[in-house]
Amino acid sequence: MAKFHVTTTVNGEEVEFLCDAQDSMLDVLRGPLGLTGSKEGCGSGDCGACSITVDGRLVCSCLMLAAEAQGHSIGTIEGMAQGDRLHPLQEKFIELAALQCGICTPGFLVAAKALLDRNTNPTETEVRYWLAGNLCRCTGYDKIIRAVMDVAADMRKGVAA
Amino acid sequence: MSDIRYVAAESLDEAVKAMLAAGGQGKILAGGTDLLVQMRSGAQNPGTIVDVKKIDEVMQIVELPDGGFRIGAAVSGAVIGEHRKLAAAWPGVVEAVNLIGSKQVQGRASAGGNLCNSSPAADSVPALVAAGAKVVIQGPNGRREVPVEAFPTGPGRNCLAPGELVVSLTLPPRPPGSGDAYLRLIPRTEMDIAVVGVGVSLTLKDGVCTAARVGLGAVAPTVLLVEDAAKALIGSKLDDAALEKAAAACSAACKPINDKRGTIAYRTKIAGVLLKRATAIAARRATSNVPGGMH
Fold type of domain B5-171: 3.30.465
Is the pLDDT score of B292 beyond 70? Answer: no
Domain boundaries for CATH 3.30.465.10 within chain B? 5-171
Task: Look at residue B199 in the predicted model and tell me its pLDDT.
Answer: 98
* C-alpha span between B19 and B79 (Å, rounded): 27
CB-side neighbour CA atoms (13 Å) of B186: 15
> What share of chain B in percent tops pLDDT 70?
97
Which has more confidence, B295 or A142? A142
| Residue A107 near residue A134 (C-beta atoms within 8 A) | yes
Task: Look at residue B187 in the predicted model and tell me its pLDDT.
Answer: 85
Helix (H, G, I), strand (E, B) or coil at B80: helix
- Mean pLDDT for A75-86 is 97
Q: How many angstroms away from the CA of A143 is the closest CA of chain B? A: 20
Which one of A43, A65, A133 has the shortest CB-CB distance to B104?
A: A133
Q: Does B2 contact A at CB distance below 8 Å?
A: yes
Q: Which of B70, B176, B52 is nearest to B116 (CA)?
A: B52
Which one of B4, B108, B190 has the shortest CB-CB distance to A59?
A: B108
Question: What is the band of A141 on the pLDDT scale with cuts at 50, 70, 90?
Answer: very high
**pTM tops 0.90, yes or no:** yes
- Mean pLDDT for B132-142 is 98
CB-side neighbour CA atoms (13 Å) of A2: 4
Same topology between domain A4-79 and domain A88-157? no
Q: Any idea how long chain B is?
A: 295
Q: Does B40 contact A at CB distance below 8 Å?
A: yes
Q: Does A118 contact B at CB distance below 8 Å?
A: no
Is the pLDDT score of B7 beyond 70? Answer: yes
* C-alpha span between A89 and A112 (Å, rounded): 8
- Mean pLDDT for B17-31 is 96
Q: How many angstroms away from the CA of B176 is the closest CA of chain A? A: 32
Question: What is the band of B1 on the pLDDT scale with cuts at 50, 70, 90?
Answer: very low
Q: Does A65 contact B at CB distance below 8 Å?
A: yes
Q: Does B98 contact A at CB distance below 8 Å?
A: no
Residues 6+ apart with CB under 8 A from A56: A73, A75, A114, A117
Q: How many angstroms away from the CA of B80 is the closest CA of chain A? A: 13
Is the pLDDT score of B293 beyond 50? Answer: no
Q: Any idea how long chain A is?
A: 161
Query: Which residues of A are less than 8 Å from B33 in CB distance?
Result: 45, 60, 63
B37–A132 CB contact, under 8 Å: no
Q: Does A67 contact B at CB distance below 8 Å?
A: yes
Task: Look at residue B2 in the predicted model and tell me its pLDDT.
Answer: 57
Residues 6+ apart with CB under 8 A from B239: none
- Mean pLDDT for A114-135 is 97
Query: Which residues of A are less than 8 Å from B107 in CB distance?
Result: 54, 57-59
Q: Can you say whether the dihedral through the CA atoms of A46, A50, A54, A57 is positive or negative?
A: positive
Domain B178-288 class in CATH: alpha beta
Domain spans of chain A?
Answer: 4-79, 88-157
Task: Look at residue B70 in the predicted model and tell me its pLDDT.
Answer: 98
Closest residue in chain B to residue A110, using alpha carbons only: B104
Domain boundaries for CATH 3.30.390.50 within chain B? 178-288
Closest residue in chain A to residue B54, using alpha carbons only: A68
Q: Does B169 contact A at CB distance below 8 Å?
A: no
State residue A60 phi and psi, 5-degree precision.
-90, 125
For A15-54, write each residue's pLDDT tens digit: 999 999 999 999 999 999 999 999 999 999 999 999 999 9
Is the pLDDT score of B92 beyond 90? Answer: yes
Closest residue in chain B to residue A60, using alpha carbons only: B104
Q: Does A28 contact B at CB distance below 8 Å?
A: no
Query: Which residues of B are less than 8 Å from A63 in CB distance?
Result: 31-33, 36-37, 104-105, 108
The CATH H-level superfamily of A4-79 is Beta-grasp domain (3.10.20.30)
For B227-263, write each residue's pLDDT tens digit: 999 999 999 999 999 999 999 999 999 999 998 888 9
Task: Look at residue B260 in the predicted model and tell me its pLDDT.
Answer: 86
Which one of B32, B103, B107 has the shortest CB-CB distance to A65?
A: B32
For B191-227, write each residue's pLDDT tens digit: 788 999 999 999 999 999 999 999 999 999 999 999 9
- Mean pLDDT for B126-131 is 98
Q: Which CATH number fits domain A88-157: 3.40.1190.20, 3.40.50.300, 3.40.50.1980, 1.10.150.120?
A: 1.10.150.120
ipTM score of complex: 0.95
Task: Look at residue B108 in the predicted model and tell me its pLDDT.
Answer: 98
Is the pLDDT score of B101 beyond 90? Answer: yes
- Mean pLDDT for B122-139 is 98
Question: What is the band of B159 on the pLDDT scale with cuts at 50, 70, 90?
Answer: very high
Which one of A20, A48, A57 has the shortest CB-CB distance to B2?
A: A20
Query: Which residues of A are less than 8 Å from B59 in CB distance?
Result: none
Which one of B5, B6, B190 has the shortest CB-CB distance to A132?
A: B190
b/e string for B115-148 if b means 16 or more Cβ within 10 A? bbbbbbbbbbbbbbbbbbbbbbbbbeeeeeeeeb
Q: Does B188 contact A at CB distance below 8 Å?
A: no
Which one of B3, B104, B191 has the shortest CB-CB distance to A60?
A: B104
